[in-house]
Amino acid sequence: MTNDSSRTQTLLRVSDLTIDYSAERIVHAVKKVSIELRRGEILGLAGESGCGKSTLAYGISQLLRPPAVVTGGSVVFHDKTGEDVNVLALQGKDLRTFRWSKVSMVFQGAMNSLNPVISIRSQIDDIFATHRPDMSKSRRRGRARDLLDLVGVDVRRLDSYPHELSGGMRQRVMIAMALALDPQLMIMDEPTTALDVVVQRDILTEIMRLRSELGFAVIFITHDLPLLLEITDRIAVMRGGEILELATAEDLYFAAQHPYTRQLLRSFPSLTGEAGSFNRHGGVSAEAPGPYEAEGAK
């Protein structure tokens, strides 16, 4: 099905998505969640452990495994080609293509999922060999070099094996691999949580820079609300499988509507300073506003 969505700003529309785990007792993990994600936007998902953030992210990318069951709702991806993709109906090859080419994911432990006995070069090359079979060997090699360069890893590391790299470098390699096919959306689930604070900061700055440069949208999941306030355009606050509040980072900080959001904000001591202490870094600047801000929409 095609339409003129390539000319609209909506990238992904999640409507009334409902996901249960049919374990011994049924867990209603995501309850009628609706979100619209705009092209190039960074949307944060915040909320306490178990509120359904990861289940929602897995649902959006069709990565759910039993006992998870989507019991209602829809996820529509508005491709830049103009095609509307019914994500929940994707299967087999179409699903694999969608996951790498349109939407990619970076998880907390992603760096540990690199194959230990295969060089970084071969692991990146595999993506092209699988998804871009027509690409020449020399173009694949060039692209692998560009990707490492893009994420700030010395290209000489291409011939290294994962154990020869630090955790931060391995996570950067995972981000490079997630970027390999130029996706329109990256879902990041606690992508830097396992890393030390300085490395975390460097990688987040890198993600913000890449987002401005390449224009992909990000769904960023973390417990770290102060971090989301700093790097995202909008934040959805979840509790008990529902979205309680969805607002721009600034509105959420200065004028949270829901008592639970206010409680969450108060639980971070670093946020209890003067209102003027709200600062945004990481490449989201007044000179280069994110597409969401650029539209002036709320």
Ligand X SMILES: Nc1ncnc2c1ncn2[C@@H]1O[C@H](COP(=O)(O)OP(=O)(O)OP(=O)(O)O)[C@@H](O)[C@H]1O
Q: Which residue has the tokens 């992508």?
A: 191
User: Does 55 help bind ligand X (rule: CB under 6 A)?
Assistant: yes
Among 2, 3, 16, 23, binds ligand X (CB under 6 A): 23
User: Does 67 help bind ligand X (rule: CB under 6 A)?
Assistant: yes
User: Does 109 help bind ligand X (rule: CB under 6 A)?
Assistant: no
Among 29, 165, 187, 246, binds ligand X (CB under 6 A): 29
The count of chain residues that interact with ligand X, using the rule CB under 6 A, is 13
3-state secondary structure of 190: coil
Among 17, 42, 43, 51, binds ligand X (CB under 6 A): 51
User: Does 108 help bind ligand X (rule: CB under 6 A)?
Assistant: no
Give min distance, CB of 178 to ligand X, in A: 19
Which residue, 29 or 147, is less far from ligand X as judged by CB?
29
Q: Which residue has the tokens 């020449």?
A: 136
Q: What one-character-per-residue DSSP string does 97-159 give?
A: HIIIIIEEEEETTGGGGS-TTS-HHHHHHHHHHHH-TTS-HHHHHHHHHHHHHHTT--GGGGG
**Which of these segments, 52-60, 128-136, 154-162, 201-209, binds ligand X (CB under 6 A)?**
52-60
Q: Roughly how many angstroms between the first and final C-alpha of the chain, as a whole number?
A: 29
Which residue, 241 or 290, is less far from ligand X as judged by CB?
241
Among 2, 8, 50, 130, binds ligand X (CB under 6 A): 50
Which residue, 31 or 143, is less far from ligand X as judged by CB?
31
Name the nearest CA neighbour of 229 among 167, 185, 273. 273
Residues 193-232 that bind ligand X (CB under 6 A): none
In a 13 Å sphere around the CA of 228, the CA atoms on its Cβ side amount to 30
User: What is the signed CA dihedral for 154, 148, 105, 41, rounded to 10 degrees?
Assistant: 100
Q: How far is CA 6 from CA 2, 81, 128, 161, 215, in A?
A: 9, 6, 26, 40, 14
Structure tokens at 114: 């690199």
User: Does 24 help bind ligand X (rule: CB under 6 A)?
Assistant: no
**Which of these segments, 20-28, 152-160, 166-174, 176-184, binds ligand X (CB under 6 A)?**
20-28
User: Does 27 help bind ligand X (rule: CB under 6 A)?
Assistant: yes
Which residue, 104 or 222, is less far from ligand X as judged by CB?
222
By the 8 A CB rule, do 11 and 78 touch?
Answer: yes
**Cβ within 8 Å of residue 169, ≥6 positions away:** 153, 157
Question: What is the rounded CA–CA span in Å between residue 159 and residue 248?
Answer: 43
User: Does 192 help bind ligand X (rule: CB under 6 A)?
Assistant: no
Provide the sign of the torsion angle of the four alpha carbons 83, 87, 91, 95, taken in this order: positive
Give min distance, CB of 240 to ligand X, in A: 9
**Which of these segments, 48-56, 97-105, 169-177, 277-285, binds ligand X (CB under 6 A)?**
48-56
Give min distance, CB of 86 to ligand X, in A: 23
Residues contributing to the site for ligand X (CB under 6 A): 21, 23, 27, 29, 47, 49-55, 67
